[in-house]
Amino acid sequence: MAKEIKFSLLYRDMWQSSGKYVPRVDQLLKVAPAIIDMGCFARVETNGGGFEQINLLFGENPNIANRKWTQPFNDAGIQTHMLERALNGIRMSPVPADVRKLMYKVKKLQGTDIARSFCGLNDPRNLEGSIKYAKEGGMISQAALSLTISKVHTVEYYTNLADTLIEMGADEICIKDMAGIGRPAFIGKIVKNIKDKHPNIPVEYHGHSGPGFSMATILEVARAGAEYVDVAMEPLSWGTGHADVLAVQGMLKDAGFKVPDINMKAYMEVRALTQEFIDDFLGYYINPKNRLMNSLLIGSGLPGGMMGSLMADLENNLSSLNKWLSKRGKKELTQDDLLIKLFNEVEHIWPMLGYPPLVTPFSQYVKNLALMNVIQLEKGGERWSMIADNIWDMIIGKSGKLPGELAPEIIKLAKEQGHEFYTGNPQDLYPDNLDSFREEMKKNNWDFGQDDEELFELAMHPEQYRAYKSGKAKADFEAELAEKRGITQASANQTSSASASLPTSFEPKSLNIEVNGEKYVVNVSYGDVQTATSQTNESSPKPAPVASGDMKEVTAPLEGKFFLTKDSTEKAIKEGDVIKEGDLIGYIESMKTYNAISSDKAGTVVEVCFSNGAAVEEDDVLIKLQ
């Protein structure tokens, strides 16, 4: 009798691997019936970190969205699964245990069946809590092996890790080949070892198609005994996403496996709706390069799921770097120039950082550090001149144990900067704090929501949830989208009439946006000089200060959002404060990490030039000293 292989559709991950955003809940509800009608999916990925934070950015309630999105699949008997990051829950930073416990209870009650849990360092201590809490919450615990290729990541390493996680109580194992760089024979051996020892434990394969190995790997894992394969579909399959269900079905059927039939009429409907969402607005956030397969990814090992944000980061930093180069009469770089330099730097520093598997958040940490190094080297500086706090946490053990050994120069640098290495259980560093969020909910008279789901959302995503509640998140998103649409239209008009003067339709326009009763005026400009801004009707934006040399000035070393403090335990600098050289003046949040900014001068603060959360560019003056 032919062995059966079941398919899981990664509809959320299809979008995340291609661009910045995923569909709104109204769009998801529109496509859900057609996905069900395709008749070939045993599972659908319905939620996780990116999904919920993007709901908040849209100004949507993620809990309502989760319930509405999972319901059709629950009714159809299709299992739903979510992706969570162990110690980090469904965000980028560590989460207290009481918030983690609440997450599984909430998600199960919202309709999610399976918790796919991964630790970016493959530290079993971080996954043990996920397995325990998921099962206590009534969910199926699927523990993931974060796959990569290095001298320490061997077949034996992953086989032993799977044994440990199964002993901890994991119901299933996922082979999470987040970069798609796992060699087919290598992964096939891992799956075979797991199935030989644990024949009743289901194994699911998740692999991105970018480098080109995934189809061969799918065939290998099917032959080795895997029961489930994650797939995507056009127009968002392949590229930095996942293999298309049509190709996977055809390959496995020819190889003698039992695979489900596909309702092609429904397939074409899902395909058309997905394209409709791209045309509506999501396409503005998809870099064309992410729709291409690229074997250069084999060397860097960067995951497909972060390529959407990576290309956006690259574009922003390239613009900033080229401004710096242009000011000094140096040759500017192309995006491809910077991309290759980044890939080479990732390959260089990854072993030095102890081979952390390149998956969220550690893929971002390694990429960010590599990009900072490249920028500093291009400016004639040195490596390691800017290391964000959360990257240090990874290096010194606060996020878990690194698989490999740190390079001596990294250990030396840590000691020189006063960092102490930590070997205890990472969860112990992040004590329970759900009660503080309860108090905030009560103080603001916010509804705790069904099954305490609103309390959970605040505790898991504090800053994003507050911005959602205030209406700021939606206003910022509307302004960003208006800018994207304007620039695209401007570019199209320029292409069609390149020799003509600038049309009057390119003149600045204003949009009036009302969010939760608060009115916003969004000014939109087109072209290369001006960009969109948003403001309330109460005040005008403060012009960005420019270094003048009249007094001592501390400037931004990179672009991002400027914050005076990172959390409530810190005290913000203010006018009149006396600071010494090397004192912390704030943080710049860039590429999902908070970069500590120290003063390179001493003096008395006479002006703090930006408010909390303000956007800054490289070389903008942050504070003025006398």
Q: For residue 177, which of 134, 211, 148 has the smallest C-alpha distance?
A: 148
Q: Is the pLDDT of residue 463 over 60?
A: yes
For the chain, how big is the Rg over CA atoms in Å? Answer: 25
Whether residue 557 is preceded by a cis peptide bond, meaning omega within 30 degrees of 0, is: no
CB 173 within 8 A of CB 194: yes
Side-by-side strand order, sheet with 621-625? 552-555, 621-625, 603-608, 578-579
Q: Does residue 620 register a pLDDT over 60? A: yes
In 3D, which of 21, 79, 17, 81 has the Cα closest to residue 47? 81
Domains recognised in the chain with CATH numbers: 472-536 (no CATH), 552-625 (2.40.50.100)
For residue range 390-414, what is the model confidence (pLDDT) as tens digits?
899 999 999 999 999 999 999 999 9
Q: Which two tokens stand for residue 398?
A: 């606060």
Maximum Cα interatomic distance, the chain, rounded to a whole number of Å = 83
- 159-163, 219-223, 255-259, 469-473 — which is least confidently predicted? 469-473
Backbone angles phi, psi at 619, to 5 degrees: 80, 0
User: Which residue in the block uniquely carries the two structure tokens 């390239």?
Assistant: 318
pLDDT digits (tens, 9 = 90+) for 34-63: 999 999 999 999 988 778 888 898 899 999
Integer Cα distance of 165 and 357 in angstroms: 17
CB contact at 8 A, 298 and 184? no
> Comparing 235-239, 297-301, 536-540, which segment has the lowest mean pLDDT?
536-540
Lowest-confidence region among 20-24, 38-42, 43-47, 222-226: 20-24
What is the rounded CA–CA span in Å between residue 149 and residue 403? Answer: 12
Question: What's the DSSP call for residue 503?
Answer: P
Q: How far, in Å, CA of 263 to CA of 11, rounded?
A: 17
pLDDT tens, 415-462?
A: 999 999 999 999 999 999 999 999 999 999 999 999 999 999 999 999
**What local confidence, expressed as pLDDT, does residue 409 receive?**
94
Report yes or no: 57 and 464 within 8 Å, Cβ to Cβ. yes
Task: Return the pLDDT at 547.
Answer: 45
Strand bridging mode 603-608 / 621-625 = antiparallel
Count other C-beta atoms under 10 Å from residue 160's C-beta: 13
Confidence of residue 574 (pLDDT cuts 50, 70, 90): confident
DSSP state of 232: B
Question: Considering only CA atoms, which of 203, 214, 267, 272 is closest in space to residue 239?
Answer: 214
Q: Which amino acid is at 185?
A: A
- Write the pLDDT tens digit of every residue in 359-379: 778 888 888 898 889 988 888
Tell me which residue of 119, 30, 42 sits closest to 80, measured CA to CA: 42
Name the pLDDT band for 305 (thresholds 50, 70, 90): low
Q: What is the mean pLDDT of the chain?
A: 86
**What is the spatial distance between Cα 168 and Cα 532, in angstroms, rounded to a whole number?**
51
Tracing tokens 């360092």 back to the chain, one arrives at: 121
